[in-house]
Amino acid sequence: MKKKIGIGIGIVIVIAILITVAINKNAGPEVVQVTKLKKERMNEKIVLSGTLNVKNRQNIYRKMELGEIKDILVEEGQDIKVGDPLIEYESPVTDSEIEQAKLQVKTVKIQLDNLYKKKKEAQKEVNSGESEMERTAAKATVEDYKQQIQLAEIEKEQSDKQLALARDKKSDLVIKSKIAGKVIQIAEDLEQSQSQEPVIVIVDPKNMVIESSVSEYQVMDVKVDQSAVIKSDAIADKSWRAVVTKVGELPLQNPMEQAQGGGGQVKYPLTLRLEDEVILKIGSKLIVEVVTDTEEGLTLPRSAVKKAGDKHIVYVVQSGKAVQKEVKMGKQDNQNVMITSGIDKEEKVIQNPSTTLTNGAEVKVQ
């Protein structure tokens, strides 16, 4: 009985093998797509986190010593230039000082005009006096007017300075922009606005920067002028170019770690300049990929290289068959891998070999 069962199982196995062979013969060679080694640049990157910020920013705070705010001269979202007026303070004392200084200047001018007229009349008497005594008296009068004119000129100069000072004081009541940019914030309640909170915030949206940090283990690989790719989780499939502009010489200080005597990871500040315009808000969190090294070499798609034990292999097409070859790899990224040895530049490499593909199997290039 057992012998019959064994014979039956053997027959089933033979039939299965014959069916498999028949199916394979009917299926024909596996259809594959091929590629060749391509000369490309491969980048080594350090991936960091960063925050979007602005290089130029002006916070205008309330100056309590100037009195009450009379008017806000700009609107939120308004583009402004350097020197544009932003805030005007109200001060009746300053207006009074200007009017008083103007009156003083006018009074001194009238005095000077009168003195010049009197001096001119006295000079006529010097030239037309009938007696020596009259001419001598007229000369003394002319000299007296000259002295009075000198004193009046000094008084006029002082009055002009007082008027200029009063006007400067008045101009100090108008706060002007020190940068070109856009008004992004105006305090809603000026009465409740405190001196430590800005009344107006201006930023230059054309000069955006990214503030990041790099560990002590990576900082030596990061250099000024290295390129970077910026990404955001908020906007998928979008990236921007940036350049490293500053690598801090001193580590960032964590107040909590300082109080506990240190011991945490040491990080150095890193600043990058954005080369492209972004639509993200200030303070947005970003992914920063700094390119620390670039090498040119021959590459294949990652899908073409398979792991076989402790080796890396590819399949090349030779005379209609898949031939397995061991390769050595160099740098790699998400899409490609650099091949340093194992195959020639002109060999046709199967792009994405199936898991059932074997060495020597017949293939057909699509």
pLDDT tens, residue by residue, 317-338: 999 999 999 999 988 887 899 9
Q: Do 28-42+295-365 and 46-55+206-294 come out as alike in CATH topology?
A: no
Instruction: Compute, in degrees rounded to 10, the torsion defined by CA atoms 299, 301, 303, 308.
Output: 0
CATH of domain 56-89+175-205: 2.40.50.100
More confident residue, 197 or 46: 46
| Mean residue pLDDT across the chain | 84
Q: Are 66 and 195 in contact (CB under 8 A)?
A: no
Higher pLDDT, 185 or 7: 185
Q: Is the pLDDT of residue 223 over 90?
A: yes
Provide the pLDDT for residue 259.
47
Between 74 and 134, residue with greater pLDDT = 74
For residues 307-315, give the mean pLDDT. Answer: 93
| pLDDT of amino acid 258 | 46
Confidence band (pLDDT; 50, 70, 90) for 140?
A: confident
Is residue 256 over pLDDT 60?
no
The domain segmentation of the chain, as residue ranges, is: 28-42+295-365, 46-55+206-294, 56-89+175-205, 92-172
Domain 46-55+206-294 has CATH 2.40.30.170: yes
Beta bridge partners of 339: 329
pLDDT number for residue 298: 94
Predicted pLDDT of residue 227: 95
Q: Are strands 34-35 and 349-350 parallel, antiparallel or unpaired?
A: antiparallel
Class of domain 28-42+295-365: mainly beta
Of all residues in the chain, the percent with pLDDT exceeding 70 is 86
Tallying the residues shown for the chain, one arrives at 366
Give the residue ranges of DSSP H helices in the chain.
Answer: 2-27, 92-128, 132-171, 255-259
